[in-house]
Amino acid sequence: MTGPVGTVMAREGHTYRVAMDDREVQAVLRGKVKRSEAERKVVVGDRVHLDAPEEGGTWTIAAVEPRRNLLERRVPEGRGNRPVASNLDRIFVLTSAIDPEPVPQLVDRLLVLAEANEVLAAVIVNKIDLDPGAAIVARMRTAGYEVFAVSAETGQGLDLLLPELQGHVSLLTGPSGAGKSSLMNRIEPGLVLRTGAISEKVRRGKNTTVSAVMVPLAMGGFLVDTPGFSEVGLWGIEPRELASCFPEIRPLIDECKFADCRHLIEPACAVRAAVKSGTIQADRYDSYTVLLEELTSAPRDWE
């Protein structure tokens, strides 16, 4: 590989915005890359090798480096998954402590999405200037997640969060109203405006579905914004796979009597025993059963 290496920041129709160390360029796929099935879909976060333009030409993407991970919206059999972003260091699931009241099941749903894609996940509880959010913070820590309690308003708790973002590629997601925009602007003034401007361009491109956009942070690292991602379903996750997407359930799976235990009504189920004894929180288990039900009753209105 000879050409310069860059990171794909956004896709605008057939062109890709690629950040190199010292600048950003627009690049298109070279024929060979286009034809190669594995590399056909270049996504935000991909590390790509570029060829410099000939006189008056455009930069071309010559090759895509192997991905560390790939966040996909999984869709039903045969439709092909929708790649969203690659090479993520961590997905931060954002919720407010209050106003609006946190919805633990929505937090669980987004964490499951991260787990199913094998991306490290953590939780951010925002608006702690209004309420410490003790219940949701304790719930998620007990489940095994790292929790950052912050206030985008006052900056409280940011001293612990910022070093986690610095130098890393992070995706921030959560229900609207939780304070994602406020938090992004607290992380770096003007960030929402910059992200919005890129999203706007992407929307005017050929793709009607809004895809991910990535913005560099002045302190080093990148934030990935995926508008609408928090509303996606869990389609395509194998029901069998679900229990392993709950970190506190995962270690118990092999202790159930039956290898194909769904942890619902089966006898000698280690998971239900742990719920009964209080080792696993009842409402985390409830999330498991609700999501399992959703995954086993194939949705028709998936899009």
For ligand GDP, the binding residues (CB under 6 A) are: 126-127, 129-130, 151-153, 176-182
- 24 or 153: CB nearest ligand GDP: 153
Q: Using CB under 5 A, pick the residue from 18, 149, 271, 295 that binds Zn ion.
A: 271
Residue by residue, DSSP assigns 168-228 as: SEEEEE--TTSSHHHHHHHHSTTHHHHHHHHHHHHHHSS--S---EEEE-TTSSEEEE-TT
Query: How far is Cα 216 from Cα 24, in angstroms, rounded to an integer?
Result: 11
Question: Which listed option, Zn ion, ligand GDP, none, makes contact with residue 286 (CB within 5 to 8 Å by class)?
Answer: none
**Structure tokens belonging to residue 265:** 């009504």
Q: How far is the CB of 265 from Zn ion (least distance, A)?
A: 10
Total number of residues that touch Zn ion (CB under 5 A) = 5
Say which residue the tokens 């406020």 belong to.
182
Do the beta carbons of residue 219 and residue 170 sit within 8 Å?
Answer: no
Q: Using CB under 5 A, pick the residue from 48, 162, 169, 256 that binds Zn ion.
A: 256
Nearest residue to ligand GDP on Cβ basis: 179
Question: Which listed option, ligand GDP, Zn ion, none, makes contact with residue 215 (CB within 5 to 8 Å by class)?
Answer: none
Do the beta carbons of residue 295 and residue 242 sit within 8 Å?
Answer: yes
Query: How far is Cα 232 from Cα 7, in angstroms, rounded to an integer?
Result: 25
Q: How far is the CB of 136 from ligand GDP (least distance, A)?
A: 14
Residues 6+ apart with CB under 8 A from 182: 126, 152, 153
Q: How far is CA 284 from the centre of its chain?
A: 20
Buried/exposed 96-127: b ≥16 CB within 10 Å, e otherwise: bbbeeebebebbbbbbbbbbbbebebbbbbbb
Question: Which listed option, ligand GDP, Zn ion, none, makes contact with residue 116 (CB within 5 to 8 Å by class)?
Answer: none
Judged by phi (left if over 0) then psi (alpha if -120 to 50, else beta), residue 7 lies in beta
Query: How far is Cα 45 from Cα 173, in angstroms, rounded to an integer?
Result: 16
Q: How far is the CB of 113 from ligand GDP (least distance, A)?
A: 18
Question: Which listed option, ligand GDP, Zn ion, none, makes contact with residue 152 (CB within 5 to 8 Å by class)?
Answer: ligand GDP
Query: How far is Cα 122 from Cα 70, in angstroms, rounded to an integer?
Result: 17
Question: Which listed option, Zn ion, ligand GDP, none, makes contact with residue 256 (CB within 5 to 8 Å by class)?
Answer: Zn ion
Q: How far is the CB of 243 from Zn ion (least distance, A)?
A: 8
Q: How far is the CB of 188 from ligand GDP (least distance, A)?
A: 14
Query: How far is Cα 268 from Cα 55, in angstroms, rounded to an integer?
Result: 71
- 117 or 230: CB nearest ligand GDP: 230
Contact region with Zn ion (CB under 5 A), list: 20-28, 82-90, 227-235, 253-261: 253-261
Question: Which listed option, Zn ion, ligand GDP, none, makes contact with residue 261 (CB within 5 to 8 Å by class)?
Answer: Zn ion
Question: Which listed option, ligand GDP, Zn ion, none, makes contact with residue 151 (CB within 5 to 8 Å by class)?
Answer: ligand GDP
Q: How far is the CB of 274 from Zn ion (least distance, A)?
A: 9
Question: Which listed option, Zn ion, ligand GDP, none, makes contact with residue 129 (CB within 5 to 8 Å by class)?
Answer: ligand GDP
Q: Using CB under 5 A, pick the residue from 150, 169, 269, 291 that binds Zn ion.
A: 269
Which residues in this chain contact Zn ion in the complex, by CB under 5 A? 256, 261, 263, 269, 271
